[in-house]
Structure 1
Amino acid sequence: MTQASATGRAGRRRHDREIIALALPAFGALVAEPLFILADSAIVGHLGTAQLAGLGVASTLLATAVSVFVFLAYATTAAVARRVGAGDLGAAIRQGMDGIWLALLLGCAVIAVTLPTAPALVGLFGASDTVAPYAITYLRISSLGIPPMLVVLAATGVLRGLQDTRTPLRVAVGGFMANAVLNVVLVYGADMGIAGSAWGTVIAQCGMAAVYLVVVVRGARRHGASLRPDAAGIRASAQAGVPLLVRTLSLRAILMIATAVAARLGDADVAAHQIVLSLWSLLAFALDAIAIAGQAIIGRYLGAGDSQGAREACRRMVEWGIAAGIALGLLVVLARPLLLPLFTGDASVREAAFPALIVIALAQPLCGVVFVLDGVLMGAGDGPYLAWAMLATLAVFTPVALLVPAMGGGLTALWGAMTLMMAVRMLTLWWRARSGRWIVTGATR
């Protein structure tokens, strides 16, 4: 074995250890988050159909609001990781505090909008007179939990940037358990109905935010970082988040267009689409965990001025993405006879979903590359390019998807269009990664 090959193998093992150490806890935290809604649905569902429908409407609005601000985690991770790589932990935590203050401001703004407009927002979903009161009640109470939830996003970004994904996992698991217990006690023990579920979730979210703040404040005091709000820092955090906000909104638009097209295909197709989309989203959690590791690792290398290390880490993470995608694709193919009966007993729905599942299985290696490169460029702080690339992807996907029903295509054709969308994303991300223009070293970009 030559010295070069031995060095290369040692480098790959080092990257593998880093990726595993960050990705596994990140995956656990990602999976724990949607369990909040799952627990609420299971508990509220026993109150009645109207209450469950009201929860469905309100939780969709809340999930959309929170997902729009996911840039608080992504942008903070990249900025903090750069400071860590530069060896300035005090500045890293100070950067994170700017993101947390921005999260509080945005959360308060969302409350100010949501409380008076809750009936109108619920009305957009066409909720019946029976369902609407429950949806409004849940939405108004749960909106009080948006500031702590956004703080959780920003603080999660701080800890990821500090190369710590274990604490977010512990907090997510603890928050899920507290939410489940509080929901049971308030909904049934205190006989508060759907309002009890909302209050239980708010209390759990406040508890999670409090734990994060304790961790971050301790770190700030240890390294002499100021906790006071800094207008310039908050403004810089907001500016860094705008491109990622555009990226997120473009992605949400793609998913909404896909669902709207599926609805035009027929009841069986839209039901099958919901099943396929849910499984696609679940698979995305596993791939996103590698992307989160990429954000933290790439930011640290660039902050340390190690462009070669960043390139090698990027290459290794792409290999991980492809391998994970192949494994997930095979899992879907092997498990498909068992998966569909879990969701529906309708033969027509299963028939529509079956070939679409094959399409998403075949596309998983492609998805693995997309998620990883997305994380790499986020870690590099290359938000403006990600925004333009996603807008271009939206522009390509929209006419193709809208042509599916016009050309007599079914759900399989729609998911073919979704795969085309991922292919366009891969091409734009791969081109950027190969160009090396994302490699900008230093404590700030």
Structure 2
Amino acid sequence: MNRQILRLAIPNIISNLSVPLLSSVDTALVGRLDGVYYLGALAIGGMIFNFLYWGFGFLRMGTTGLTATAYGGKNDAEVGVVLSRAVLTAILGSALLLVSQYLLFSGAMLIVSTSDEVREMAALYFYIRIWDAPAVLALFAIQGWFLGMQNARFPMYITIFINLLNIGLNIFFIYGLGMTVDGVAYGTVIAQYLGLIFALWLFFRYYGRGYIHLGRKALLAIEGLKRFFSVSRDIFIRTMSLIFTYSFFTIQSAALGDEYLAINTILMQLWYIMAYGVDGFAYAAESITGKYTGRGDRAGLLQAVKLLIAWGLGLGVAFSGIYFLLDEHLIRLFTDNPELIALGLTFFAWTIAAPLINSFCFMLDGIFIGATVTGPMRDSMLISTFLVFIPAYYLTVDLLGNHALWLAMTAYMLARGATLLWFLPRKVLAQVG
């Protein structure tokens, strides 16, 4: 079982770590430009796209779980229908984003309190980057399908290809052409479309047209649609709550001033690096638990759950140890501003503690997604966001200032792990055997 987990997890870890590598390089590039407002603009722009694209995260997560259960049950027809439904949903969703782009940015700016310079640069970034929406959403569906088919190598190839290309383009646009956040945006758009072309080539080369189902009867089958949209709805609500939390964090950071926004953005990069590393095992959990759920194999599912949680916790301990040993050195990777470095060290204890807490709930997320038990995930996130995170912040902000944001984030992650653990035997394990 450990070999099976590692076969899926290692490619996912490699590909996942390239995502925060890209984000970290962007932060480091922009963090060295004259004016902290460039870094603030990147943070605001990133927040908006997190809200928009993570909202469509069900295209990746739901597709993985539904494909894996169909694959485990040896239902090849349903495997193909899931992919077709997901891609069509991606096309419709991206069209909606493009049509409403001006409304989306204007609405975001109504709730963000920031300087005029940050607002201007964020607009420049947003109106370029929004044009990668069709490629991004289609890639969500295709990569989720690959993972559901127990193929972690292809998503790794695609992600590494996109992110290395993106890094190279960003460096060229900023240092070669003298651009700022617009260079980061153009680099991202170009890389995403080339990545989509690569993903389609892999699909047709190694799977062929046999898995494409465009027949109206298959796509509109009532039971299949109900399950697809039920899973998608729960993951969408769960993801919206997640995005709300991170967006609230960014908005309140901006309200404290450009310096706090900049350093919280840097420290959050270290959260993301850890999250993407542990998510390699969480993605493996989606594939494996989906397969055993589809087979109705309770013993295999129980063994997988235990081992996956153990792997996740082990990674969390390792990341906390690295952050403890390298504290200031890690901050210096993102900025050479002495004031920002000193400010970052003031809040770095929260970053050290985060992997120990966060890794547990990330693994449970993967287990629930793979088993397509999405209702409890939705409920867990709503509880953690609105009954823990928000009260924790407002009850402590007057006393603790920026520490209140990090305290609220930590309490939020603890609540996610605790509620998912409570649901685990009652919802995931109980449905098999």
| Fold in common (TM above 0.5) | yes
In structure 2, the residue matched to 1:313 is: 304
1:244 offset after TM fit, Å?
Answer: 0.9
Determine whether 1:100 maps to 2:83. no
Structure 1 residues 269 and 129 mapped into 2: Cα distance closer, same or farther (>3 Å)? closer
Structure 1 residues 54 and 434 mapped into 2: Cα distance closer, same or farther (>3 Å)? closer
Structure 1 residues 133 and 231 mapped into 2: Cα distance closer, same or farther (>3 Å)? farther
Contact 2:28-2:334 within 8 A present in 1 as well: no
Using the alignment, how far apart are the partners of 2:355 and 2:155 within structure 1? 26
For structure 2, which runs of at least 5 residues remain unmatched after alignment?
none
Contact 1:102-1:237 within 8 A present in 2 as well: no
Structure 1 residues 106 and 265 mapped into 2: Cα distance closer, same or farther (>3 Å)? closer
Structure 1 residues 282 and 193 mapped into 2: Cα distance closer, same or farther (>3 Å)? closer
Using the alignment, how far apart are the partners of 1:52 and 1:158 within structure 2? 35
Using the alignment, how far apart are the partners of 2:87 and 2:172 within structure 1? 31
Contact 1:377-1:383 within 8 A present in 2 as well: yes
Correspondent of 2:380 among 365, 371, 389: 389
1:434 offset after TM fit, Å?
Answer: 2.9
In structure 2, the residue matched to 1:8 is: none
Larger radius of gyration: 1
Q: Report the aligned-residue RMSD.
A: 3.6
Residue deviations 1:331-359, cap 9 Å, x none? 11111242344455677755654464334
Aligned AA for 2:165? A
Using the alignment, how far apart are the partners of 2:124 and 2:337 within structure 1? 34
Structure 1 residues 257 and 365 mapped into 2: Cα distance closer, same or farther (>3 Å)? same
In structure 2, the residue matched to 1:146 is: 133
Contact 1:36-1:176 within 8 A present in 2 as well: yes
Bigger mean CA deviation after superposition, 210-219 or 88-97: 210-219
Using the alignment, how far apart are the partners of 1:364 and 1:56 within structure 2? 22
In structure 2, the residue matched to 1:33 is: 19
Contact 1:175-1:208 within 8 A present in 2 as well: yes
In structure 2, the residue matched to 1:418 is: 409
Contact 1:264-1:405 within 8 A present in 2 as well: no
Contact 2:319-2:355 within 8 A present in 1 as well: yes
Using the alignment, how far apart are the partners of 1:145 and 1:235 within structure 2? 29
Using the alignment, how far apart are the partners of 2:14 and 2:113 within structure 1? 35
Structure 1 residues 218 and 56 mapped into 2: Cα distance closer, same or farther (>3 Å)? same
Contact 1:91-1:225 within 8 A present in 2 as well: no
* TM-score, normalised relative to structure 1: 0.82
Aligned AA for 1:92? V
Determine whether 1:206 maps to 2:197. no
Using the alignment, how far apart are the partners of 2:95 and 2:168 within structure 1? 27
For structure 1, which runs of at least 5 residues remain unmatched after alignment?
1-14
In structure 2, the residue matched to 1:427 is: 418
What SS class does the counterpart of residue 201 from structure 1 fall into?
helix
In structure 2, the residue matched to 1:281 is: 272
Determine whether 1:162 maps to 2:153. no
Residue deviations 1:256-287, cap 9 Å, x none? 33445556667765554333322122211111
Using the alignment, how far apart are the partners of 1:421 and 1:195 within structure 2? 34
Contact 1:85-1:303 within 8 A present in 2 as well: yes
Structure 1 residues 420 and 187 mapped into 2: Cα distance closer, same or farther (>3 Å)? closer
Contact 1:360-1:419 within 8 A present in 2 as well: no
1:157 offset after TM fit, Å?
Answer: 0.4
Q: Which has the higher contact order (CA 8 A, sep 6+)?
A: 2
In structure 2, the residue matched to 1:370 is: 361
Matched residues, percent identical?
27
Aligned AA for 1:300? K
In structure 2, the residue matched to 1:68 is: 55
Contact 1:75-1:241 within 8 A present in 2 as well: yes
User: What count of residue pairs does the alignment treat as equivalent?
Assistant: 427
Contact 1:77-1:160 within 8 A present in 2 as well: yes
1:165 offset after TM fit, Å?
Answer: 1.4
What SS class does the counterpart of residue 150 from structure 2 fall into?
coil
Determine whether 1:336 maps to 2:327. yes
Using the alignment, how far apart are the partners of 1:138 and 1:236 within structure 2? 37
Residue deviations 1:381-408, cap 9 Å, x none? 11111111111111222111111123x1
